[in-house]
Amino acid sequence: MQINGITYKEEAIKAAKNKRIIMNNLIARFNVNIASKEDLELLLSNTQFKSTGTFELDIMKNVEYDNEKSKEFPDGFLYFKYTVEYYKNENAVDEYDIQNSESILKILWENDIPAIIICNFEDKLSEKGGYKSKNIPWKNTR
């Protein structure tokens, strides 16, 4: 089977679908304003994650993406180009989820990429996850 020009074996697709059913607990959502999915994947692949279990990051184009609205501070993050959803098996957030989320924000911000996290533990993160912070990258604004 071909998806986006890549050939996958049926077994791999079934395994991925089964994994998605297991990984159904959304822990956090990041809205990220970056040029391409490939650039985002590269940055995330260079992130040091910590975990005692399995987690999954799904990168998707934001269906609400609007280049002009994304420049508006502070609510423009709703219109950033990509979302990254952080899933895991367990429902409860643990210290590793907080550390992993912090690592994601750190690598994005250090690379001058605007990013905001939406989660139940924003107050435990640098800049409270970025919302309304004037200390994080925010291109073409302010």
- What tokens appear for 138 in the block? 């925010």
Instruction: Give residue 17's pLDDT.
Output: 52
Instruction: Give residue 6's pLDDT.
Output: 40
Instruction: Give residue 87's pLDDT.
Output: 92
Rounded to 5°, the CA angle 133-137-140 comes to 105
Cβ-count burial of 53 within 10 angstroms (0-12 exposed, 13-18 middle, 19+ buried)? exposed
User: pTM of the full predicted structure?
Assistant: 0.81
- In the numeric block, the tokens 């002009």 are attached to 68
Instruction: Give residue 101's pLDDT.
Output: 96
Each of the 142 residues of the chain gets a pLDDT tens digit; together they read: 334 344 334 544 455 555 544 568 999 999 999 999 999 999 999 888 887 678 889 999 999 999 999 999 999 999 999 999 999 888 889 999 999 999 999 999 999 999 999 999 999 999 999 999 999 998 654 3
Instruction: Give residue 52's pLDDT.
Output: 64
Cβ 83 vs Cβ 24: under 8 Å: no
Distance CA 64, CA 82 (A): 9
Q: What is the dihedral of CA 96, 130, 23, 38, to 10 degrees?
A: -110
Long-range contacts of 137-142 (CB under 8 A, 24+ apart): 137/108, 137/109, 137/112, 137/113, 138/73, 138/76, 138/114, 139/33, 139/71, 139/112, 139/114, 140/71, 141/71, 141/72, 141/73, 141/76, 142/73
